[in-house]
Amino acid sequence: MIHERVKVVLEMHDDVVDALEKIRMTDGPSLYVEVPEGSVLFDNILNLKLLQRESDSIGKDLRFHTEDPVGRKFITQIQKPDPVAEGFVTKELYEGSSSNMPTIEARLPNRSTNKSKLPKLSIPAFKLPNLALLKVSGGVLKWLVLGVLTLLILGIVGYYTVWSVPKAHITIKVESRPLPKSVTIRVENSSTTNSENKILAGSQLNTTVTESSKANTTGTKEVGEKATGSVKLYNRTNAIIEVEKGTILTFKDKSLDYVLKSTVEVPAQKLADPTDPASVSVPGEKEVSVEAKSFGSSYNIDEGETLELDDYKRSELAAVSFDKFEGGSTNTVKVVTQEDLDNLSKVLSPKLSESAEKAIKKQSNSSVELIAGSVSYEVSEQKFSHKVDDEAAEVELTQTVVAKGLGYSPKALETLIDSLASDFVPDGFELSDKDKSITVEVLGNSDDTVLNSTQADLQVTLRSFIVTKVDTDKIASDLAGKSLQEAQKILGGIRDILTYNLEVSPSIPLLSRVPSNIDNITIEVERVDD
């Protein structure tokens, strides 16, 4: 005799009570029970033994099947010899493929279907009476139509309310462990991020700043006007003497030099009485203008002072001031020194560097972080208002500086650190997004590290936690549309979570269910520190 075996499909969260209910409701003495991988029944072999015993008591022969390794081991320990060899066959109740095999899902509400859809209602067909045969007044018909429309609107509003209003908030607490990790990262301009080589792409920040600074001059010098006057040249020789322009005349008492302003010829001496050879000789004379060689009031000599000419003896050619010399003067003025220029540059350079760094820092924002100490400066233009020895009370310096700095993206750094830290996360865990902090320290220039406007080494420390990995999307899908009792069974059957809390609003006694709309289900995973 051939016995038919009916297939019963269990869900992962079905406990012993749920499984027995499905077995009792399934017709037939021989059942083929499909147990999913990860089922709560495999938490203890006693669950399977209890099902086997209760099934025997109601006259049903069970055959268990599963892909779960633990489940297979339990089934091997309790399973009786397969009756197929003794005249039994596992036969579909319907002709055709195995897909037509009736399962418990054909007899019970399907709790594994898409919960986002409301169940379809099957309404028996009926025939409307011939309204022409109904003798109703127009007023009654009007109210009948209004009533139908009202019911339709109420149905639509009710559907929308049931779909969109209910909310569920689930808090799942999982194990967590601290994960401190420190790593050296090199930021390079014009490079791409490379986790293998621990390279983070950098970006160049540039700015140009121009500033000026003034300072009082410290040098002094004397300036003034040169004295001028006329002298009379006396030639005591018998020949004409030509005196060239620029010839120096010296007033010996004060060592004052004067310059002849034009070339002149001084006639030779002659007898006072040309007819008397014994008469006195009269020197030849010539008046000419002179100018002091230098400025100063001391060159204002009196009339009648004797001056000597270079290359001539006083007995041959002499000069006497013809009138009082005038116009010579002396004044002390301030002038620019080299030290003034150097000091001004020393004062302006740090001021300009500070302004340039502030300008570059203004380019920093949430997407770009400037690396401290990476800014370099280059003077592109420099101009002083005066040069050395110029007469001036103050001098001004104008400088233009080109500054360059190195920046990086904090978001890109976080992504790189997460990538590096993932190598240290054990199986079944993941990095927590909460309570995560990243600190950055600039290592500076040394034999092993570098810091400039194109490269910089950073010591990056990650302080985070790893938490048990939870598939929130799958949990939300499994819970959608379930009663609170069913939802608690599902949540209680999830492995590797410590505790959970389920809140559904609005709370309506006897009608509270998890929303069928997955978008209205929020799941928050909280870590529990060791």
Q: What is the pLDDT of residues 364-394, one digit of tens each?
A: 887 899 999 999 888 889 999 999 989 899 9
Write down the pLDDT at residue 488.
85
CA distance 56 to 80: 12
Number of Cα atoms under 13 Å in the Cβ half of residue 457? 11
Mean pLDDT of 429-439: 81
- Distance linking the first and last C-alpha atoms of the chain: 62
Q: Which residue has the higher pLDDT, 16 or 283?
A: 283
- pLDDT of 150 > 70? The answer is yes
Q: How far is CA 238 from CA 264, 272, 320, 499, in A?
A: 17, 14, 20, 137
- Options 3.40.190.10, 3.40.50.300, 1.10.10.10, 2.40.30.10; CATH for 225-329 is 2.40.30.10
Show the CA angle centred on residue 23, arms to residues 17 and 26, nearest 5°.
140
Neighbours of 67 (CB within 10 A): 11
Write the DSSP string, 409-420.
Answer: -HHHHHHHHHHH
Question: What pLDDT, in 10s, does the model give residues 169-211?
Answer: 999 888 778 888 889 999 999 889 998 999 999 999 999 999 9
**Band (148; pLDDT cuts 50, 70, 90):** confident
Average pLDDT over residues 402-411: 92
User: What pLDDT shows up at residue 159?
Assistant: 59
Average model confidence (pLDDT) across the chain: 81
Exposure string for 392-401, b = 16+ CB within 10 A, e = fewer: beebebebeb
Query: What pLDDT was estimated at residue 363?
Result: 84
More confident residue, 403 or 423: 403
User: Position of tokens 């010839």?
Assistant: 247
163 closest CA partner among 519, 517, 512: 517
Place of tokens 């009736």: 102
Residue 145 has pLDDT above 90, yes or no: no
Where is pLDDT greater, at 62 or 128? 62
- Tally of residues, the chain: 530
Which pLDDT score, from 0 to 100, does residue 118 have? 37
The better pLDDT of the pair 498, 140 is held by: 498
Residue 323 has pLDDT above 50, yes or no: yes
Residue 314: name the closest of 240, 243, 235, 242 by CA: 235
Alpha helices in 378-483 (DSSP H): 410-421, 472-479
Domain locations along the chain? 5-106, 206-218+334-408, 225-329
Beta strands in 52-153 (DSSP E): 61-65
Pairing of strands 226-235, 219-223: unpaired
d(CA 189, CA 405): 10
Return the minimum-mean-pLDDT range out of 86-90, 255-259, 399-403.
86-90
Identify any residues that bridge with 231 across adjacent strands, giving them in sequence order.
288, 321
* Higher pLDDT, residue 246 or 143: 246
Q: What is the pLDDT of residues 290-309, one digit of tens each?
A: 999 999 989 999 999 999 88
pLDDT tens digit string along 59-85?
A: 888 888 999 988 888 888 887 555 443
Q: What is the pLDDT of residue 117?
A: 37
User: Is the model's pLDDT at 132 over the cut of 80?
Assistant: no
**Whole-number Å distance between alpha carbons of 37 and 70:** 9
Q: Is the pLDDT of residue 133 over 50?
A: no
pLDDT score at 81: 55
CB atoms within 10 A of CB 19: 26
Q: 143 in helix, strand or coil?
A: helix
